A and B are shown apart, each in its own frame.
Chain A
Amino acid sequence: MSRVVTLKINGQDVSGREDETVLQVARENGIEIPTLCHLEGLSNVGACRLCLVEVKGVSRLLPACVTRVSEGMEVTTHSERLERYRRMIVELLFSEGNHVCSVCVSNGHCELQDTAIQLRLDHIGMPYRFPVRQVDASHSRYGLDPNRCILCTRCVRVCDEIEGAHTWDIMGRGINSQLITDMHTPWGESETCTSCGKCVQICPTGALFIKGKSVAEMTKRPDFLPYLAMMRNRKNGS
């Protein structure tokens, strides 16, 4: 059993196990830190950078999702600077794709939209890039609208780590990175997809959706994940 450590988050004394992350301990204590790539039950990639926090004595900002708590640590999760950076990150995400909330299936149930509201964004200060991206509607039950994709790779990870199919991955790099199925072949023709739909349920935006849903009708149900992750770990003997 791992040791219990005490630390301060935003001046509040809290305790956690030393194998827990700052994010976990913060959430256990009702302190919300925004995240988009993190999801309980999946491995962490530390890619969205929204959960960066300040730790006393460390000059760099640290991602709460992968930083372990330690004795005497003093964490600040919200500051003028962190909020500014978080707003800019969300602005970058909005400027990168084509996010048209008003006609999106996930309007009102979107983690990107929620994060923007939480951060009190009323407009996007970065020039919109308006990329040209093709919708993939070849799958019989699900659709992919890459215009709404924020490359959080939750779908890639759930497909690989939980379902074990590894149908999804990222091709290209940098600003040209793109979500693909198999050899960049249409989803409906995938040789590996089991149509389990886990990717759809954990997608934070309307990028992956169930066909036939109209505007604002697509609610996601990611809560199956911690349970499946636990069962999988048990089988693997860890």
Chain B
Amino acid sequence: MSKKKIATIWMDGCSGCHMSFLDIDHRLLDLADLIEIVHSPIVDHKDFPPDVDVTLVEGAVSSDEDYEKILKVRARTKILVAMGDCAVSANVPAMRNRFTPKALQEAVYLAPNMANPQLPHGTVPILLPRVRPVHEVVKVDVFVPGCPPSNDTLFYVLSELIHGRMPDLSDKTRFGA
């Protein structure tokens, strides 16, 4: 049996879900014979490869970069997993939705106590007017709520998926857990 190609991506989120993923710890080694991590912020592959079996998505869709990334990832992934509350519900990143991107940037970059207050030009991704959960932009196959989902939960999800089963998460995690 060929190894399952697994990827993870990180959009607008705190990276806590990736931390939780890493907390799977030695159990990841147990899976090593079965999976190959083809792309992840923790393994540094520049471009997202084609024909990925499972992609774990952390974070909400917040910028033009996220938007383009998630479209590409979706097109190249068989099973897309929304990992954690930011991906599932836009969570904390969406709390900026009450402000316009302009007001937000001005508040951050032009704050009176800044040493050299100026708005960024071309150096950071452009903010979308609203942060959205992943499933409002592309189709999501598996939802794993939690902030972050526990390492046990993520291990369970991954093992089920690589064995070709859909995980049943109803008693394993919840929004905000």
Contacts and interface: CB of A to CB of B under 8 A. Distances in A.
Asked if the two chains touch in their complex, CB atoms less than 8 Å apart, one says yes
Report, as a range, how many residues of chain A touch the other chain.
Answer: 20 to 34
B143 A100 contact: no
A128 B85 CA distance: 14
Interface residues of B, number: 27
Contacts, number: 66
Contacts of A102: 85, 91-92, 147, 175-176
Given A98-B95, A101-B85, A102-B91, A113 B175 contact: yes
Interface string B66-110: 000000000000000010010011111011011000000000000
Interface of A: 94, 98-104, 107-108, 113, 116-117, 120, 122-125, 127-128, 130, 132
Given A99-B89, A123-B88, A128-B133, 15 more contacts: A99-B175, A100-B91, A101-B147, A101-B175, A102-B92, A113-B174, A116-B175, A122-B88, A122-B143, A123-B140, A123-B145, A124-B89, A124-B133, A130-B98, A132-B98
Given A101-B85, A101-B147, A128 B94 contact: yes
A98 B94 contact: yes
Given A113-B174, A113-B175, A123-B145, A128 B90 contact: yes
Contacts of A113: 174-176
A132 to B, nearest CB: 4
Identify whether the interface residues of B are mostly helix, strand, loop, or mixed.
mixed
A117 B146 CA distance: 12
Interface of B: 82, 85, 88-92, 94-95, 97-98, 130, 132-133, 135-136, 140, 143-145, 147, 169-170, 174-177
27 contacts: A98-B97, A100-B94, A100-B95, A100-B176, A101-B147, A101-B174, A101-B175, A101-B176, A102-B85, A102-B147, A102-B175, A103-B92, A107-B176, A113-B175, A116-B175, A117-B174, A122-B143, A122-B170, A123-B135, A123-B145, A125-B135, A127-B136, A128-B90, A128-B94, A128-B136, A130-B98, A132-B98
